Structure 1
Amino acid sequence: MTIRSISKFRPWLIVGLLFIIALLNYIDRTMITTMRSSIVGSIPMSDAEFGLLTAVFLWVYGIFSPFAGFLADRYSKSRVILFSLFVWSLVTWMTSFATSFHELLLTRALMGISEACYIPAALSLIMDYHKGPTRSMATGIHMAGIMAGQSLGFLGGWLAEDHSWNYAFTVFGIFGICYSIILIFLLKDAPKSHDKVTEIVAEKVKFGLSLKVLFSNRSYLFIVLFFALISVVSWLIVGWLPTYFQEKFHLSQTQAGIYSTGYVFTAAIVGVLVGGALTDMWSRQNKKARIWVPFIGLCLAAPAIFIANYSSLLAVSLVCFILYTFVKSFTDTNTMPILSLVVDGRYRATGYGVLNFCGTLVGGIGLYFGGALRDADINLDVIFQFASLLIILAALCMLMVKPSPNLLAEK
């Protein structure tokens, strides 16, 4: 293999390596929810305390995300990724030794800090390697790893039933530690070019200055608003869709779970890959394709949600929710590429960290208010129809994003 062919292959090798990390990232964070009975049987706790194990992870993860993104902008992205993977894998392994609720709570908080460092650095590294018309597909493959990890969260419950809840954390923790050691020799930052732009990017940045630059950028503010609106809708649907299917169509808990997760996550994985491929192809003719593809996707997602709730037929509702998930995924595969059209390389990881913070914060609020509205006798049909309005507002925010002429050249 020639040096030139190796250089062409390396950007996709990086995506493949990050795919596995993303997969592990979401298995480690979600598998605890699938082994509730095993954990509670070993460490007695209330339902509120068990829910707090996930909540504290999200809170710490969200709060630390902006600073975690800054670390990737300030230091080596690949080293931040390796550090994040090693630490959260070590924490995953440590979790297997927990003997009390408070020890579990501590490990979940530590996992929130360490996992927060990963996604902003990973997506920013992908942008460094994929500067041409491959950005959306590369991002889509990485996002598929995240969604596959969500789908494989059941492995925790399966291993807990066959062995013990500690066993699952031991297996995935040790695997992650070993994988991080292997990646020391494979995962590297993108080569630096010797132009003035790169020299500017290489300058050390400060956290306060990064936030000032980001929030003085009008287009970035619209991206934040867009991401917040989409996060509210996503968390609402993920959190309440099983209940919706169970109550409206009188399904069993198992049937509702299959419809709302099996079909939904499969559609999401296909959606990020198809959306990435379509965007990259169109970007060769239209420099704003990375904005137009998610906009069109959201314009299809809004009526899909509305019809899904209006229909009294299970098949129609299911197909519409699958369509929503498929086209909504176009936003997942294009968020970082869009961010790269308005924010230069010095602040991209910090910018995505802020998005993570906002998405986690408002997503949790959306889940809470969904429950509060149900307590007020407002059914999920109305709540989901309101979500379709939020999707329309998110699409309008996307249209307000104006790419920087200098960054648009990278597409």
Structure 2
Amino acid sequence: MKKMTGYYPWMVVALLCVVGCLNYLDRMMITTMRSSILEAIPMTDAQFGLLTSVFLWIYGLLSPLAGFLADRFSRSKVIIVSLFVWSAVTWLTSHATTFEELLLTRALMGISEACYIPAALALIVDYHKGNTRSLATGIHMGGIMLGQSLGFIGGWMAEEHSWNFAFSIFGIIGICYSVVLLFTLRDAKPAAEGHGAAAQPAASFSAAMANLFRSRAYFMALLFWSLLGVAGWMVVAWLPTYYKEHFSISQSMAGVYATGYFHTASLAGVLLGGFLADYWSRTNPRGRILVPMLGLLIAAPAIFMASGTGSLYVAVVCFMIYALTRSFSDANMMPILCLITDARYRATGYGVLNMFSAIVGGIGIYAGGALRDVQINLGSVFRVAALILLVCAVVLFIIRNIKTTEK
């Protein structure tokens, strides 16, 4: 066992990268097969938006409790059970025949997936601290971006076979991988994080909430992550439709541009953002805050330009720049929490952030569909997202000026 201590922290990251990939692939591929689903199950654009919104609302509402479970009990077991259940629900989705059944499976997926991200990121920072923390979380987020970039597979499989074929395949893959994790994934020992969550389990959910909300910095982090969720989900959920309709291209090609190109740039962004933050934090503890702030100041004008151009090439490049620099925030959100929260409540704190981000993000997605129903174009929706990103950068600047201590 001693021989494993050197590389096992990175093995944990690698194992969880696969889970993160499946997590986002399962939830996102529905956005790339809109036309195929509507042919089989007629619904309005608002109803189609609701499929993702309901997932996000339920996912968000349960995230604080899910995070507390990871702080209070075994992080690895929470991860394994979550993967097994949401994979079973993914397989069940392939058998839906009505809008109501599809909506129900999306709700069930929201319940099961809520437990994963807080537990995974908390487990990673249990094993990684100091100069590897942002890069380790960034690599894991890279697995998530890979899952998003592969989302076009859903649209391709829908055109080649049927809309439910992909859900059946990836549901079975996830169930099998949960068995692999049962024999390979374990919690960090207390020594891996001298005063961290592994050493001192969270006392109670109410104590965790009280501890978190006593912090002004945490309030600002909550505002930041919520606004970022609005902008991020508005873009991700409707980008395939924007490409297809604005540039008159096929569903498959729209899916490639909106997931393959976009999330490949996001993958590069979380790796670059993690590396830069770790490097900068060696000389400036607030480097983990400054890197995402600068990234957003680049992302906002990029998405504004992408929303108004008539050139497919310019739009693809600008959306990729947005994806690259906006992802600096994804690599550093948990490390930022490590600066401003008690180590015992990291997963709970991230769960609360997820709750607000998912709820307001879901509202943004549904609003986008409702606006389309009244003939308001998606370019206008994306320009609002650009403005929100600038506000997020200001909030990070405020957090930067609040006294923080690495924990």
* Structure 1 residues 242-297: Cα deviation after superposition (integer angstroms, max 9, x where no partner): 5555666x543556554443322221111111111111122222221101111111
Describe how 1:19-98 pairs up with structure 2 within 5 A.
19-35=17-33, 44-47=41-44, 51-98=49-96
Q: Which amino acid aligns with 1:30?
A: M
Q: Name 1:324's counterpart in structure 2.
A: 322
Q: Name 1:153's counterpart in structure 2.
A: 151
5+ residue gaps, structure 1, are none
Cα shift at 1:182: 1.8
2:126 to 106, 125, 128: 128
1:379/1:95 Cα in 2 relative to 1: closer, same or farther (>3 Å)? closer
Q: Which whole-Å CA distance do the structure 2 matches of 1:41 and 1:377 have between them? A: 21
Cα shift at 1:161: 5.2
2:264 to 263, 266, 274: 266
Cα shift at 1:324: 1.8
1:253/1:387 Cα in 2 relative to 1: closer, same or farther (>3 Å)? same
Cα shift at 1:31: 3.2
1:114/1:398 Cα in 2 relative to 1: closer, same or farther (>3 Å)? same
1:252 to 249, 253, 259: 249
Aligned-residue CA RMSD in angstroms? 3.1
Whether the 8 Å CA contact 1:160–1:166 is kept in 2: the answer is yes
Larger Rg, first or second structure (1 or 2):
1
1:99/1:342 Cα in 2 relative to 1: closer, same or farther (>3 Å)? same
Q: Which amino acid aligns with 1:348?
A: R
Q: Which amino acid aligns with 2:2?
A: I
Q: Which whole-Å CA distance do the structure 2 matches of 1:372 and 1:41 have between them? A: 20
**Residue 304 in structure 1 maps to residue 315 in structure 2:** no
Q: Which amino acid aligns with 2:353?
A: L
**Residue 291 in structure 1 maps to residue 293 in structure 2:** no
1:188 to 186, 189, 198: 186
Describe how 1:88-127 pairs up with structure 2 within 5 A.
88-98=86-96, 101-127=99-125
1:237/1:199 Cα in 2 relative to 1: closer, same or farther (>3 Å)? closer
Q: Which whole-Å CA distance do the structure 2 matches of 1:169 and 1:212 have between them? A: 40
1:152/1:244 Cα in 2 relative to 1: closer, same or farther (>3 Å)? closer
1:368/1:37 Cα in 2 relative to 1: closer, same or farther (>3 Å)? closer
Whether the 8 Å CA contact 2:32–2:151 is kept in 1: the answer is yes
**Residue 399 in structure 1 maps to residue 397 in structure 2:** yes
Q: Which whole-Å CA distance do the structure 2 matches of 1:374 and 1:174 have between them? A: 35
1:362 to 360, 363, 366: 360
Whether the 8 Å CA contact 2:234–2:365 is kept in 1: the answer is yes
2:279 to 251, 276, 281: 281
Whether the 8 Å CA contact 1:342–1:404 is kept in 2: the answer is no
1:231/1:3 Cα in 2 relative to 1: closer, same or farther (>3 Å)? same
1:50/1:294 Cα in 2 relative to 1: closer, same or farther (>3 Å)? closer
Cα shift at 1:41: 6.4
Whether the 8 Å CA contact 2:31–2:240 is kept in 1: the answer is no
Other structure's SS at 2:283 match? coil
Cα shift at 1:386: 3.6
* Structure 1 residues 185-230: Cα deviation after superposition (integer angstroms, max 9, x where no partner): 2101111129983589524421122112212210011011111111
* Structure 1 residues 63-93: Cα deviation after superposition (integer angstroms, max 9, x where no partner): 1111111111111111110111111122233
1:221 to 215, 219, 222: 219
Q: Name 2:203's counterpart in structure 1.
A: 205
Q: Which whole-Å CA distance do the structure 2 matches of 1:41 and 1:256 have between them? A: 18
1:378/1:125 Cα in 2 relative to 1: closer, same or farther (>3 Å)? same
Q: Name 2:233's counterpart in structure 1.
A: 235
5+ residue gaps, structure 2, are none
Q: Which whole-Å CA distance do the structure 1 matches of 2:302 and 2:161 have between them? A: 42
1:154/1:321 Cα in 2 relative to 1: closer, same or farther (>3 Å)? closer
TM-score under structure 2 length normalisation:
0.87
Q: Which whole-Å CA distance do the structure 2 matches of 1:307 and 1:35 have between them? A: 26
Moved more, 267-276 or 46-55: 46-55
